[in-house]
Structures are given as C-alpha cells and as structure tokens.
C-alpha cells in the first residue's frame, strides 16, 4: 500500500514541487495498472487520464483536510477523472482492448516453443473474466482489483474505501461468488 507521511502531505497542500514529484513517482505505476486491469484502453488514453488526474490533484490537494484518509482522497479524485473521461468519450467502449501496434509487438515477442493452444485458452479465459467483471457493481470491481491486482489486505482495502473490514470481507465473497456464477453460465 502506498503510504504518505504527514510532512509530505503538508508539503503537497503547500504546492511543493518536490513533494508532488515524489507523489507522482509513488503513484503513477499504480494508476496505469488500475486502468489496464479494469478498462483496457489504448496507451494514449490511459496517459491522458493519468495526466488529467495529476492536474486535478495539484489543484484539489490544497483543499485536503487532515482528518480524511489521504489514500481515499486521491483515489476519489482519480476515479472522478476516469468518470469524466468516459463521459467525454462516450463512444469509447470499455472493451477497447489494444491498438494494432501493441498486438504486433506482442506477436513479435512469441518464441517458437510457446504452447499457442495454452496461450489462446488463457486469452479466452481472460476475455470471459473481463465480460463477467462488467456485470459487477463499481465497489465490487474495486475490491477485486485491490485484492487480486494490487494484492492488498482486507484491512488496507477497508482504509482505502472507507468501508468496514467486515463489509470488505462480505463484498469480496459475494463478488467472487457472482463472478463464478457468471463464468459458469458462459461455459454452459
């Protein structure tokens, strides 16, 4: 879990450029992973979203109140930036996976001894999971992302989402059951 000490948070509120650079370095990979795991947008779109986030964060961090969770605060700004992107680009489907160049680069990296059947099976399973994930509510998607992509504990997820530890456990269990049910129905 990305941690920020109170001194750095104060510097961010005061618009300190070094503190902002440090914040950027600590968070940029996490945001790219989140977008790639949940939305599969073109690289340029992901970069645009992240860029917009940092501009908004720079403006909004001045109004951060110390009694709030800093992780939840900046993640909320990030989620709102994502929503803004999809509102502006309503013609961009959530499943816009990759550009041709990215697929070509992937194909170029394949070696001869790779079991292509296994690779295609994994791609097919991934597509099924992606489709099933779209049927979950946003909170369940976030909890699954934090748990399995960022490998956070339930307690860490609880702090990020401002939800009780018990509620995280219940929602995770329900989301996994719902995903399993959705995946089972697509295999019938």
Q: Where does the pLDDT of residue 172 fall: very low under 50, low under 70, confident under 90, or very high at 90 and above?
A: confident
Taking residues 97-112, report their average pLDDT: 40
| CATH class of the structural domain 110-187 | mainly alpha
Q: Which run of H or E residues covers position 136?
A: none
Measured in whole angstroms, the distance separating CA 183 from the mean position of its chain's CA atoms is 22
Taking residues 34-39, report their average pLDDT: 81
The answer to whether the 6-88 and 110-187 domains have the same CATH topology is: no
6-88 — its CATH code? 1.10.1740.10
Give me the pLDDT at residue 58, please. 92
Contacts for 4 with CB less than 8 Å, ≥ 6 apart:
23, 26, 70, 71
| Length of the chain as a residue count | 188
**What is the residue-wise DSSP string for 138-164?**
HHHHHHHIIIIIS---HHHHHHHHT--
Domain ranges of the chain: 6-88, 110-187
Q: Computed from CA positions of residues 141, 145, 148, 151, in that sequence, does the dihedral angle turn out positive or negative? A: negative
Token pair recorded at residue 36:
């790639």
């Amino acid at each position: 879990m990305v941690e920020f000490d109170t001194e750095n948070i104060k510097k961010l509120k005061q618009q300190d450029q070094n503190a902002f650079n440090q914040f950027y370095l600590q968070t940029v990979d996490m945001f790219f992973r989140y977008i790639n795991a949940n939305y599969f947008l073109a690289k340029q779109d992901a970069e645009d979203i992240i860029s917009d986030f940092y501009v908004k964060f720079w403006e909004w961090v001045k109004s951060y109140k110390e009694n709030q969770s800093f992780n939840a605060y900046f993640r909320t700004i990030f989620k709102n930036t994502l929503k803004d992107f999809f509102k502006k680009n309503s013609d961009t489907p959530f499943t816009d996976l990759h550009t041709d160049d990215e697929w070509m680069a992937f194909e170029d990296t394949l070696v001869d001894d790779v079991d292509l059947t296994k690779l295609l099976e994994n791609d097919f399973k991934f597509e099924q999971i992606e489709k099933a994930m779209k049927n979950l509510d946003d909170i369940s998607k976030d909890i699954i992302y934090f748990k399995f992509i960022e490998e956070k504990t339930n307690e860490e997820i609880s702090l990020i989402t401002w939800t009780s530890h018990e509620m995280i456990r219940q929602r995770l269990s329900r989301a996994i059951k719902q995903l399993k049910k959705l995946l089972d129905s697509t295999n019938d």
